[in-house]
């Protein structure tokens, strides 16, 4: 972290009561609350384990129908470990239920947590009684901090800790993720975590030939644009407390509960700060073009001519600067493709651009 965005080591965490009465960890130096509004356990179970479909993954149902072997969860932003413990509790409850019903055990679970600072986890252990969710897991959390790993006696659940820079860690991570809990501090305090590079690295870290789901609390246009440009399909997640929307991202469009469509593109164009973090002004036309050429919009019913404005524009929805050259790939005044001028672009070019997603160019 840079000096402008100090790590949580610079201040002690304190407990802060949320709207529903739950206590959550609060960092006074950053002004950030972990799991604000509803508290850690409700967000961990309803958003991350719930909207992520962890129970279905562990029982090979729904999106994960027919899958075998262990389920790997990437826990990005371990913090006070609520999300990871929510995953462990989900598997524990399923195992107990299956055993009582004489059914086969759920698939094994492996959680890989990424973090750069363990001070919130130490605070969670210290305040386990007040927070409630860490109760009974204190020894597990201490072992994770000291040894970097933990496994249950049956060898069905494993938990591993990765410490350091997120982007670099993901690039060398030997495990391949099925479900990703993306829960770092907000872009205001932790901008390095919300870039196209990070989401691209996570997309590449899914199981070879398989699919993955990512869930996060953020619904900001810039963050969703970074996910799209990182390779994901993106949709709306459930509302949690006062958070009206969260976000689902998936490697397969059909996995999304409520995919973004052209209405989101129209709103994105009106945003004052629509660009993914770290986008220099010189790259904005190219970033905008790549975003509008994403396969998401074909799957979601296409875009209007008004959604595909002049790519030389100074902002997402602002007119271009006076005197700028017209885009040779558009028919003047129409926004429609100009045949023969944008070789490799348009529908044919887009389908060729993403062969790794298993889509084929539609037959004419």
Distance, in Å, from the CA atom of 191 to the CA atom of 277, rounded to the nearest integer, reads 7
Average pLDDT, the chain: 84
pLDDT-based confidence at 346, cuts 50/70/90?
very low
Beta strands in the chain (DSSP E): 14-17, 23-27, 32-33, 71-76, 109-115, 149-151, 157-163, 179-182, 213-216, 233-237, 246-250
Separation in Å, CA 344 to CA 292, 295, 329? 15, 15, 11
At residue 333, the pLDDT reads 44
Write down all domains in the chain, each with its CATH number in brackets. 15-260 (3.40.50.150), 271-353 (no CATH)
Segment 47-75 mean pLDDT: 95
Segment 247-273 mean pLDDT: 95
pLDDT-based confidence at 55, cuts 50/70/90?
very high
pLDDT-based confidence at 12, cuts 50/70/90?
confident
At residue 10, the pLDDT reads 39
- List, for residues 223-239, the tens digit of each pLDDT value: 999 999 999 999 999 99
Which is nearest to 121 in space by CA: 152, 144, 94? 144
Residues facing residue 114 across a β-bridge = 76, 162
- List, for residues 107-140, the tens digit of each pLDDT value: 999 999 999 999 999 999 999 999 999 999 999 9
Which is nearest to 217 in space by CA: 43, 74, 27, 33? 43
Segment 21-40 mean pLDDT: 90
Segment 62-81 mean pLDDT: 95
Which is nearest to 234 in space by CA: 207, 205, 268? 268
- List, for residues 149-168, the tens digit of each pLDDT value: 999 999 999 999 999 999 89
- List, for residues 165-220, the tens digit of each pLDDT value: 998 999 999 999 999 999 999 988 889 999 999 999 999 999 888 899 999 999 99
Distance, in Å, from the CA atom of 155 to the CA atom of 108, rounded to the nearest integer, reads 8
Separation in Å, CA 68 to CA 2, 120, 127, 225? 42, 34, 38, 32
| 184 in Cβ contact with 190 (< 8 Å) | yes
For every residue of 6-19, DSSP letters joined together read --GGGS--EEEE-T
pTM of the model: 0.84
- List, for residues 350-359, the tens digit of each pLDDT value: 433 444 443 3
pLDDT-based confidence at 20, cuts 50/70/90?
confident
- List, for residues 82-96, the tens digit of each pLDDT value: 999 999 999 999 999
Please give the share of the chain, as a percent, with pLDDT higher than 90.
Answer: 70
- The torsion angle over the Cα atoms of residues 39, 4, 145 and 49, rounded to 10 degrees, is 40
pLDDT-based confidence at 334, cuts 50/70/90?
very low
At residue 241, the pLDDT reads 78
At residue 310, the pLDDT reads 46
Residues facing residue 249 across a β-bridge = 214, 234
- List, for residues 307-317, the tens digit of each pLDDT value: 555 444 444 65
Q: What share of the chain is helix, strand, coil (3-state, %, to 5)?
A: 35, 15, 45
Distance, in Å, from the CA atom of 219 to the CA atom of 295, rounded to the nearest integer, reads 20
At residue 307, the pLDDT reads 59
Residue partners of 324: CB distance under 8 A and separation at least 6: 310, 312
At residue 43, the pLDDT reads 93
């Amino acid at each position: 972290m840079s000096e402008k965005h100090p790590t949580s080591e610079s201040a002690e965490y304190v407990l802060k009561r949320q709207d529903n009465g739950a206590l959550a960890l609060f960092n006074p130096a950053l002004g950030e609350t972990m799991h604000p509004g509803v508290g850690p356990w409700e967000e961990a179970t309803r958003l991350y384990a719930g909207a992520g479909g962890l129970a279905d993954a562990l029982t090979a149902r729904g999106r994960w129908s027919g899958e075998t072997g262990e389920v790997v969860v990437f826990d990005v932003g371990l913090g006070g470990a609520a999300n990871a413990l929510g995953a462990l509790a989900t598997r524990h409850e399923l195992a107990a239920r299956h055993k009582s019903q004489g059914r086969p055990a759920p698939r094994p679970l492996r959680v890989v947590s990424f973090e750069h600072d363990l001070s919130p986890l130490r605070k969670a252990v210290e305040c386990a009684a007040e927070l409630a969710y860490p109760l009974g897991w204190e020894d597990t959390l201490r072992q994770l901090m000291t040894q970097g790993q933990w496994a249950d006696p049956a060898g069905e659940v494993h938990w591993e800790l990765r410490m350091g820079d997120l982007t670099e860690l993901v690039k060398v991570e030997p495990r391949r993720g099925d479900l990703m809990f993306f829960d770092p501090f907000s872009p205001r305090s932790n901008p390095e975590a919300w870039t196209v590079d990070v989401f691209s690295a996570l997309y590449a870290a899914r199981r070879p030939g398989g699919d993955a789901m990512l869930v996060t609390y953020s619904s900001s246009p810039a963050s969703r644009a970074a996910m799209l440009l990182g390779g994901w399909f993106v949709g709306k997640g459930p509302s949690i407390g006062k958070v009206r929307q969260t976000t689902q991202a998936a490697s397969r469009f059909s996995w999304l509960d409520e995919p973004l469509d052209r209405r989101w593109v129209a709103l994105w164009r009106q945003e004052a700060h629509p660009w993914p973090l770290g986008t220099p002004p010189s790259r904005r036309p190219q970033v905008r073009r790549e975003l509008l050429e994403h396969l998401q919009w074909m799957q979601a019913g296409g875009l209007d001519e008004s959604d595909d404005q002049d790519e030389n524009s100074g902002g997402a929805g602002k007119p271009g600067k006076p005197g700028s050259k017209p885009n040779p790939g558009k028919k003047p005044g129409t926004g429609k493709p100009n045949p023969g001028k944008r070789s490799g672009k348009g529908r044919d070019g887009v389908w060729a651009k993403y062969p790794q997603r298993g889509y084929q160019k539609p037959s004419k």
